[in-house]
Amino acid sequence: MGENNNNDTELVARAKEGDTRAFDLLVKKYQFKVVNLVSRYVRSDEAQDVAQEAFIKAYRGLKNFRGDAAFYTWMYRIAVNSAKNYLLSASRRQADRQVDVEDAEYFDDAVILRDHATPDRVLQSQELETKVFDAIHHLPDDLKMAITLRELEGMSYEQIAEAMECPIGTVRSRIFRAREAIDKVVQPLMD
């Protein structure tokens, strides 16, 4: 991991000096991760464009990158902001989508959805899934982002604190509150 960051630091330094090939290497290195991240916020057919826009913003803002955080953490923030800006400028139909990609992926490993698939169980699973997707979708942005970074990106609390630019205690609180809100919706269905 440390070697990775050193390599990034060197590439960033070269890119700042005008070496476009160095920045291209950073793009190649993180392109898949950034597209994947952005696709959690926007439709997959739009993710490539939004990711490209994020890399353009990063390239233009490179002079402001001081290296306090890892390059990918900085790039991560730019990508998330680009996705949010895209959603804000897109038509309201985006807001009407009931199930986000991130919400679907949140359930990939959910044991409850792996229950024996009788028609009754399938119906219950679908109802539960819809309720949980809805709960996540309606979380405030800060809670939604924290739970997404933790559950989908597998980031540590420290990494999330860095990405969200807030104390680690705040991260713990946001994740706790997000899980609590989801549990409130799920619990009545489990009883």
Ranges in the chain, pLDDT < 70: 1-6, 89-129, 132-133, 151-153, 189-191
98-191 domain in CATH 1.10.10.10?
yes
Task: Kindly report the CATH number that applies to the domain delimited by 1-97.
Answer: 1.10.1740.10
Question: pLDDT tens, 1-27?
Answer: 455 666 899 999 999 998 889 999 999
Q: Which pLDDT score, from 0 to 100, does residue 12 have?
A: 92
Q: What pLDDT does residue 106 have?
A: 43
Q: What is the DSSP string of the chain?
A: -HHHHHHHHHHHHHHHTT-HHHHHHHHHHHHHHHHHHHTTTS-HHHHHHHHHHHHHHHHHHGGG--SSS-HHHHHHHHHHHHHHHHHHHS-THHHH-S--HHHHHHTTT-GGGGS---HHHHHHHHHHHHHHHHHHHTS-HHHHHHHHHHHTS---HHHHHHHHTS-HHHHHHHHHHHHHHHHHHHHHHH-
Domain residues of the chain, as ranges?
1-97, 98-191
Quick check: pTM over 0.75? Answer: no
